[in-house]
Each structure stands twice: as structure tokens, then as C-alpha cells.
Amino acid sequence: MLYCSSYSIKVKEGYETGRNKAPWTGKHHSVETKRKLSEIRKRYLKENRNIHNWSLYRNKETQPEKLFRECLEELGIQYEQYYIPHENNRNFELDFAIVDKKLAFEINGNQHYNKDGTLKDYYKNRHDYFQNNGWSVVELHYTMCFDKKILKNIITTVA
């Protein structure tokens, strides 16, 4: 065996190292294999809802989320953070949820928005998905979390 230090992988003697040089590159899964892999992944995600790469268990709470959480606590509102509704077959996670009222708050960074300030398609579809399942979703730009007066006003208005 040879060691390729730039990639930190072992390669068999006789093969060039680097991208797209190994004999197994360029092969594709069949449609049937892709379907099976997709079903396996969906089942895994359904059975392990809280270990997605975007979940609390992988990521740390952001500063805006921390400030929002503190407002909810100061107002004495019962909530769940990083909540995945049971009826949710898409495994979407809500930043904050007042479960008994089916009210959710999403703290969004700039990457969630188009240049005109509307939600990007993925986030709009996600928002609509929850609304169609009986949830009210309040989308907040993260900068709003730095003004507790505004936050508390929004929370008390909708909660």
C-alpha cells in the first residue's frame, strides 16, 4: 500500500492518487438501488428524529436563539426548543414551539431570504407545510432578537 499524504488515504499500488483517478470512480447506482437507499435513509431519519445534522444535538444554540429563549422565559411562556412535531412526515425541526397552541417561531439568518426580503423557496415551502398542518409560524430575522422590547411585543401579540 502507498499512502497519499495530501488526501490521507491508502491506495493500492499501481493506481494514481488524487481525484477521479481510482478505478471505482464514475460508477452510478441503479434507479432501484437509489430507491432502496432513499427508503433506508427516510426510515432512519424517522426513527432518529433528533440526530439530524441541523439538530440541537449537532449544532450549538446561536446568540439570537439564546436571546429569544430568554425572552420566552422572562415572559413565563412554556415552549420547546428544536421541536419536531410528531405529525411531521418531513422531519422539519422548529426553532421554538408552543406546542399546545401549535405556534412556532423560526429565527432566520440572511441565507433564508431572497434579495427582495421574501423567503427562499425551500423555507417558503417549509413554512406553508407547517401552516397546512395547523401550525402558525412566525418568521423572525435574527437581528430582531437583539431588541428585547420588540421581541416581547411580538411574542405577547401572537401567544
Paired strand residues for 9: 4
pLDDT of residue 119: 95
Cα 66 to Cα 26, 61, 62, 63, 117, distances in angstroms: 45, 6, 6, 5, 24
How confident is residue 70, by pLDDT bands cut at 50, 70 and 90? very high
Least reliable range by pLDDT among 40-44, 52-56, 73-77, 141-145: 52-56
Least reliable range by pLDDT among 9-23, 66-80, 120-134: 9-23
> CATH: 3.20.20.140, 3.40.960.10, 3.40.30.10, 2.40.160.150. Which one for 63-158?
3.40.960.10
SS3 content of the chain, % helix, strand, coil (to 5): 40, 20, 40
- pLDDT tens figures, 75-111: 999 999 988 888 777 778 899 999 999 999 999 999 9
E strands present in 25-118: 80-83, 94-98, 103-108
How confident is residue 28, by pLDDT bands cut at 50, 70 and 90? confident
